[in-house]
């Protein structure tokens, strides 16, 4: 597996100053390089080590479902883990997305214009629900100890990317979703707009503000 240049290798500006256009372009490039997995081809992986597929989806999956699961599961887990912060929950989120796809469209999958777009939207919406539940629980239960990634999570969370991931957690939900979809999932503005239910203009302005905020956060960590 190839490794990406860690964010710390960039010549960050001094903390407290607004990132320049040049700095923001560099930040965009490092986000693209630091995306989880760092590969450029389609992600493939064996069946998830977490909970098994829903029995209804395992017994007689229609043509296309198995191939879609095999080729896209890992990239969707990478997306989910950036949104919910831990691998087991991310795997559950992706599993729910595939189960919903099979139950609602399994026998007419070919009728869907873009099954992958359906899965991405499902992952984002389920991740939002997870985060809402967490906020509700945290409002009534003492905060648990800080999450320490398990050894298997290092496959997705490389040490040199931790600074960027920690900074992502400080952004608003919308800013985080836009950056993750843009620089880790490599979606276009139009695809992000469709996934999040936003206009392209909103996606563009959100990405700009998010890059500024992320740059200031990373500068402050140095």
What's 206's domain CATH number? 1.10.10.10
Per-residue pLDDT of the chain (222 residues; tens, 9 = 90+): 433 333 333 223 333 444 455 555 555 555 555 454 433 333 434 444 455 555 544 445 555 788 899 999 999 999 999 999 889 999 999 999 999 998 888 778 877 889 999 999 999 999 999 988 887 765 555 554 555 545 444 444 454 467 788 888 899 999 999 999 998 899 999 999 999 999 999 999 999 999 999 888 887 766
- Tokens 């499902």 label which residue? 122
Instruction: Report if residue 211 sits inside a domain.
Output: yes
> Among 103, 126, 157, where does a domain finish?
157
- Pair 187, 129 in one domain: no
Domain-terminating residue out of 131, 157, 183: 157
- Dist CA 172 CA 202 (whole Å): 14
Enter the pTM of the model.
0.64
Q: Is residue 50 part of a domain?
A: no
Strands (E), the chain: none
Residue 183 belongs to domain spanning = 1-36+162-222
Tell me, yes or no, whether 44 lies in a domain.
no
Report the C-alpha gap between 152 and 15 in whole angstroms: 34
In a domain, 67, yes or no: yes
């Amino acid at each position: 597996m190839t490794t990406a240049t860690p964010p710390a290798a960039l010549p960050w500006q001094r903390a407290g100053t607004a990132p320049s256009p040049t700095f923001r372009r560099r930040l965009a490039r490092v986000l693209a390089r630091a995306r989880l997995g760092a590969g450029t081809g389609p992600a493939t992986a064996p069946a998830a080590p977490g909970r098994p597929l829903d029995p209804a989806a395992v017994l007689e999956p229609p043509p296309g479902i198995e191939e879609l699961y095999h080729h896209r599961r890992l990239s969707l887990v990478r997306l989910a883990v950036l949104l919910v912060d831990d691998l087991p929950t991310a795997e559950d989120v992706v599993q729910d997305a595939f189960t919903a796809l099979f139950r609602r469209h399994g026998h007419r999958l070919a009728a869907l214009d873009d099954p992958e777009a359906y899965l991405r939207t499902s992952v984002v919406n389920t991740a939002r629900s997870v985060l809402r539940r967490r906020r509700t629980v945290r409002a009534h239960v003492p905060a648990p100890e800080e999450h320490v990634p398990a050894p298997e999570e290092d496959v997705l969370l490389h040490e040199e990317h931790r600074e960027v991931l920690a900074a992502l957690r400080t952004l608003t939900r919308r800013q985080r979703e836009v950056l993750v979809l843009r620089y880790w999932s490599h979606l276009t503005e139009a695809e992000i707009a469709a996934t999040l239910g936003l206009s392209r203009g909103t996606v563009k302005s959100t990405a700009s503000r998010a890059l500024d905020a992320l740059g200031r956060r990373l500068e402050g960590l140095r």
